[in-house]
Amino acid sequence: MLEMLKHDFLRHALGAAIIAGASLSFVGVYVILRRIVFVGAALAQLGAAGVGLALLTGFSPLLGGAVAVLAGALGFVAMPQQERTVSRESLLGAAYALASALALLFVALSPVGEAHISALLFGDLLAVGHGDMELLAAACLLVVVVHLAAYHAFVAVTVDPTFAHSVGIKERWVNLLFYLSLGALIGACIRAIGALVVFAFLVLPPIAGLIWARNLKVAFAVAIAIASISAIFGLWLSFAHDLPAGPSVVAVCGGLTFLAVVTKWLANFKLH
């Protein structure tokens, strides 16, 4: 572990993975509670498509991913809640499939060719530099500050929308702020850690946190801890065994989440 930290690029990668993982897992608790996991998947793929289009046209990949995700978040908010013929889930599925195809096509058509496909899906943590990490940290910090400032409104609308409405909370505006912040966070992280790693952090640590925690604040803390541990040991595994960084982080994250589920099941089994 100490040997890994002697290298600047690995320190930058570790910092980016911890920052992105902690922020995504924090917001991901709401994603799980709201049962909008598919929204997270669709936004991640839209971000990948935006990065792919930026690579094809020569624009900033970070800007391309962010614009695509924010546009997707606004589109999701604008979707009708109920539709007689086509459900919201169907539209999200269509967006996910189309974005996935476009992401691969854009990268395949770009001058650099298919060499960027792996980076698009799993990110390129080892290529994160000083400027990239600071920009990522600023974006993540901004989103976290927004969530902390609007904590009570977000929790009320997520847990009990009827109560939130009765006490005067504007549910529509709170939802708009939530989805815009989610989109901004995914857009900021997509270039550094990739679509699949973003989705993994958004879903896996929050599942473990909600399974073990007795209240939301503990769930947030557990999710952030698992994401941070996954980033540290995933990168160490990548360094020690010459493995791809992104998939290594996801594998550790998945393993810890599975362990949390199994131990919780065993604890409940013993109690009964």
| Mean pLDDT on 77-89 | 68
pLDDT band at 206 (very low <50, low <70, confident <90, very high): very high
pLDDT band at 120 (very low <50, low <70, confident <90, very high): low
pLDDT of residue 4: 72
pLDDT per position as a tens digit, 1-25: 667 767 777 888 888 899 999 999 9
Check whether 223 has a pLDDT greater than 70. yes
Asked whether residue 159 is assigned to any structural domain, the reply reads yes
Asked whether residue 272 is assigned to any structural domain, the reply reads no
pLDDT of residue 220: 95
Asked whether residue 250 is assigned to any structural domain, the reply reads yes
Check whether 83 has a pLDDT greater than 60. no
Asked whether residue 261 is assigned to any structural domain, the reply reads yes
Window from 63-77, 92-106, 125-139, 154-168 with minimum mean pLDDT:
125-139
- How many domains in the chain? 1
Q: What percent of the chain has pLDDT over 70?
A: 90
Sequence-ordered list of residues with C-beta below 8 angstroms from that of 81, at least 6 positions apart, any chain = 88
Asked whether residue 210 is assigned to any structural domain, the reply reads yes
| Residue numbers of the domain that contains 97 | 4-266
| Mean pLDDT on 230-244 | 90
pLDDT of residue 242: 87
CA–CA gap between residue 97 and residue 117 (Å, rounded): 16
| Mean pLDDT on 145-163 | 92
pTM for the model? 0.87
Check whether 239 has a pLDDT greater than 90. no
pLDDT per position as a tens digit, 31-78: 999 988 888 888 888 888 888 888 788 887 778 888 888 888 888 877
- Average pLDDT of the chain is 85
Window from 83-97, 153-167, 173-187, 249-263 with minimum mean pLDDT:
83-97
pLDDT of residue 103: 83
| Mean pLDDT on 154-177 | 89
CATH number, position 56 = 1.10.3470.10
Structure-token pair, residue 22:
């902690």
Window from 27-31, 89-93, 115-119, 251-255 with minimum mean pLDDT:
115-119
pLDDT of residue 228: 95
